[in-house]
Amino acid sequence: MKLESILLPGIEDKRPMVIAGPCSAETEEQVMNTARQLAADGVKIMRAGIWKPRTKPGGFEGVGSEGLAWLKKARQETGMYISTEVATQKHVYEALKYGVDILWIGARTTANPFAVQEIAEALEGVDIPVLVKNPVNPDLELWIGALERLSNVGLTRLGAIHRGFSSYDKKIYRNLPQWHIPIELKRRMPDLPILCDPSHIGGKRDLIQPLSQQAMDLNYDGLIIETHCDPENAWSDAAQQVTPSRLKEILDSLVIREEGQSTEDLSALRRQIDEVDNQLLELLAKRMRISREIGTFKKEHNMTVVQTDRYDEILNNRIPQAKSLDISPEFMRIILEAIHEESVRQQVVILNK
Ligand code: PEP
Ligand code: MN
C-alpha cells in the first residue's frame, strides 16, 4: 500500500494532530459557535457528523446535507479544515460538493465490505485524506481490508482511527480499547498514521484526558475528540462531549514523550517486567493445579463445580485488598472473573472424565 502524508497545508507535523468538533452538526448556531471557539484555541481541523448511524431507529439520525452548508461556512469564516463521516456513495458526493477536506468511515461501516467498496469506488480519482475507524468488532483483518479497498482505487492519504470495540459487557469503557489491536496495525503498517478517538472509547467526559495521554504514550499521531459548545444538551453522545475550553485544558495537560529516549533504562525495566510476568504465570499455574485437586475432591463427593458462596467470598476479600494496593477494583474484578472462569473450565474437564 502506497501512503502519502495526510497532513494538509498549514498543519504542523507535530503530535498530536487534533481533530475536534461535535458528534453531530445540530444547528447552524451550534456549528458556528463551536467552530469559533475551537479556531480561537488553535484547532485546525473540525469534525461534525452529518449522517449519524444509530444502533436503533428513532434516535437523532443527523441533519443531512443542510449541515454541510454550515460546515462550509465554518471553514470560510475560521479557516479550519472540515471533516465528516461518509457511509454511502451519496454521502461522498454531497461531502465533496461542499468542499469537505477530510472524510472518515465510521465503525459500523468499516465492518461492511460492500459499503466500504461502494465508498472506495465513489472516491476513485479524488485526492482526499480518508480516515478509517476500526470496525465495531475486534477484527484487525477487516480494518486492514477496508484500508486496502481504499488504497486499491488509488487513494494514498489514508489514516486509521482507533475508537474501541463493542462488547456485550460494558464496564469502564463504552468501547473496549483492546490496545493490542491498533498496536498490531501499526506494526503491520508502520507508515499509516493512527489517531485515537477517546470520546467513543471512553463514552464519558472524565475518561478523555487519561485515554488521550495513553494514546500519546503509545506514540499515536493524533486525537479526534468530540467537542460541543453545550455538551450537556447535545443531541447525540452528550455524556462524552467536552466544551472547547475543557478540550484546551486536556490538550495542554498532555505530556508528549519522544520515541527512543533512554532506551537503556527502558530495557532494564522491561527485563524486570518479563521476570514478574514469569512469576505471575508460575503462580497462576500453581493456582490451577490446586483448583484441579479441588475438582477431584468435588467429583469424589458429588459436589457441583461452582460453589457461589465461595466465589462471593473471594471477590469480597480480594477486591478491597486490591484497592489498598492501588489496583483498580474494576480491573481486579475482571482478573478474578477470568481466573475463576478458567478454574471452572479445568474442574469441569475433571468432573466429566
Ligand atoms: C462518530 O464519530 O460520531 C461516530 C459515530 O463514531 P463511530 O463510528 O466510532 O461509532
Ligand atoms: Mn459520536
**Least distant ligand from the CA of 201:** 1
Distance CA 269, CA 275 (A): 10
Class of domain 3-253: alpha beta
Share of residues in the chain with pLDDT > 70 (%): 98
Write the pLDDT tens digit of every residue in 170-203: 778 999 999 989 999 998 999 999 999 999 999 9
CA–CA separation, 143 and 93 (whole Å): 23
Cα of 303 from ligand 2 centre, angstroms:
50
Name the pTM for this structure.
Answer: 0.79
Q: How do residues 200-240 score in pLDDT, each as one tens digit?
A: 999 999 999 999 999 998 899 999 999 999 999 999 999 99
- Which residue's CA is the nearest one to ligand 1's atom 9? 107
47 lines ligand 1 (CB under 6 A): no
Interval between CA 106 and ligand 1 midpoint (Å)? 5
62 lines ligand 1 (CB under 6 A): no
Q: Give distance in angstroms: CA of 32 to centre of ligand 2.
A: 18
Nearest CA to ligand 1 atom 10: 107
| pLDDT of res. 260 | 63
CA-to-CA separations, 299 to 296, 306, 347, in angstroms, rounded: 5, 12, 9
Greater confidence (56 vs 75) lies with 75
Ligand 1 atom 8 nearest Cα: 106
Give the end-to-end CA distance of the chain in Å, rounded to a whole number: 52
Handedness of CA 112, 113, 115, 116 (dihedral sign): positive
Task: Give pLDDT, residue 249.
Answer: 98
Instruction: Choose which CATH entry (1.10.287.70, 3.40.50.1100, 3.30.450.20, 1.20.59.10) describes domain 267-351.
Output: 1.20.59.10
**Residue 258: predicted pLDDT:** 79
Ligand 1 atom nearest 23 alpha carbon: 3
> In degrees rounded to 5, what are phi and psi of residue 81?
-75, 155
CA 60 to chain CA centroid, nearest Å: 22
Query: What pLDDT score does 261 carry?
Result: 58
pLDDT at 263 over 80: no
Asked if 279 contacts 241 with a C-beta cutoff of 8 angstroms, the reply is no
Quote the percentage of the chain above a pLDDT of 90: 82
- Ligand 1 center from residue 193 Cα (angstroms): 18
Residue 344: which of 279, 271, 291 has the closest Cα?
291
* Residue 204: C-alpha distances to residues 83, 114, 225 (Å): 23, 32, 12
The per-residue pLDDT for 202 is: 97
**Domain boundary assignment for the chain:** 3-253, 267-351
**Mean pLDDT of the region 262-284:** 80
Express each pLDDT in 292-333 by its tens digit.
Answer: 999 999 999 988 888 888 888 999 999 999 999 999 999 999
pLDDT value for 93: 98
And the C-alpha cell for 288?
490451577
**Closest C-alpha residue for ligand 1 atom 1:** 23
> Residue 255: which pLDDT band, with cuts at 50, 70 and 90?
very high
What pLDDT is recorded for position 264? 63
Mean residue pLDDT of the chain comes to 94
Ligand 1 neighbour 163 (Cβ under 6 A): yes
